[in-house]
Amino acid sequence: MDLRKLGHAVVLAEEMNFARAAKRVHITQSALSRSIQALEAELDARLFDRDLSRVALTPIGEEFVKRARDLLLHARTVRREIDLFREVELGDVHLGAGPFPAATLLPPVVAQLVSEHPGVRVEIEINNWANLVGHLLDERIEFFVSDTRNLAGDKRFAITPLARQFGGFFCRKGHPLAGKRLKDAAPVATYPLASVHLPDLIQKQLAAFLGRDPGSEFLTSVACDKPELLAHVALNSNAILMTTNAAVVEDLRLGRLVQIHIRNAPKFYTDMGVVTLAGRSFSAGGAWIIERMRDLAAAQAARFAP
C-alpha cells in the first residue's frame, strides 16, 4: 500500500475539503481526487462521501484513517531510525575479538566511539578464533577481528585484512635470561611458556623452534586468551611470555618486561583481519569501528615492524 496515498487520505480527513487538502500536499485537486479514488479501488471500500457541498468520512473511512495515522507515524519513526543508523547515532553493534585485537585495537577505538556517539550500544565477546567462528555462524555477532590464517579459503566468510602484528618472547626484568642474546631456543625451552591459544600454524612453528612435539600438551604451560593475565604471570614468575609487541608496549616502555633475542628465531606474528559472513554488509556502527581499527592497526604495524 502506497504511503503517499495514505497521507492524502489523512490530510483530506483533516480538511474535509479537496481544495485545501490538495494545497497542503502540494498537488492539484484533480490529482488528489485520483489518488483517493485509486486508494478506494485498492481497498474495495468507500472511504469518503462527497458531493458538491461537502466531504465526509464513511464509517469504514473513519477506522481506516485511524490506522493510516498509526502507519504513517511508524513509517516516519523507521525513517528517522535509519537516518540515525546512517549517522552512527543509534544502534547496537555485537562483535567478537581475539585476545590480541581486544588488547591492542579495541580499547582506544571503543573509547572514541562512546565519546563521539554515545547513542551506540556495543557488546563485545572476547574469545579465541575457533569459538568466535561458531558464534558468527549462529549470527550472535555481526563480525569478529582476530588472526585469520586458519580461515583462508573458507567461502563461508569474507575477510577484511587489517595489519600484521609481530611478536616474540618476553620475560621480567630480573629473569635469568633478561638482557641475553641466545644462540638458540634451548634456554627458553627450559622455562614455562605462557601464551594465548595459538592457531595451528603458529603451534607447529613454535614446536619446531623449541624442538618439541607439535601435538604435545606441554607446548605451553599457561594458555589463556587474556593477554593482561599472561603478562602478570610473566612479571611475577620465571615464565616466558609469548605475545605481540603491541600487547605489552607499556610494560616494555616502563622496563618491567624485556624482549628475549634469539639468533635465527622465526618471525612470529598474527595476521589481523575482520571476519564476517560472506555477502553481509556491516552496520553503520560496525563500519565505523572497522575503519578506526584499520587505521590503528596500520600505525601499530609500522611502529613494531621487525
Q: Distance between CA 47 and CA 42 in Å, rounded?
A: 11
Q: Is the pLDDT of residue 97 over 90?
A: yes
15-45 tens-digit pLDDT: 999 989 999 999 999 999 999 999 999 999 9
Backbone phi and psi for residue 239, each to the nearest 5 degrees, phi listed first = -65, 145
CATH of domain 165-269: 3.40.190.10
249-289 tens-digit pLDDT: 999 999 999 999 998 888 888 899 999 998 888 888 888 99
Q: 3-86 belongs to which CATH class?
A: mainly alpha
Residue 121: Cβ within 10 Å count: 12
Q: Is the pLDDT of residue 8 over 70?
A: yes
Q: What is the pTM of this model?
A: 0.67
Per domain, the residue ranges of the chain are 3-86, 91-164+271-303, 165-269
244 has which bridge partners? 167
Q: Distance between CA 232 and CA 292 in Å, rounded?
A: 29
**Arithmetic mean of pLDDT, 191-204:** 86
Give the per-residue pLDDT at 96. Answer: 96
CATH of domain 91-164+271-303: 3.40.190.10
- Bridge-based pairing of strands 157-172 and 143-147 is unpaired
| CA nearest neighbour of 256 among 226, 239, 236, 242 | 236
Per the prediction, the chain carries an average pLDDT of 88
Give the per-residue pLDDT at 80. Answer: 66
Give the per-residue pLDDT at 109. Answer: 95
- Band of the pLDDT at 89, cuts 50, 70, 90? low
Q: Distance between CA 166 and CA 179 in Å, rounded?
A: 20
| CA nearest neighbour of 50 among 64, 36, 66 | 36
Q: Is the pLDDT of residue 87 over 70?
A: no
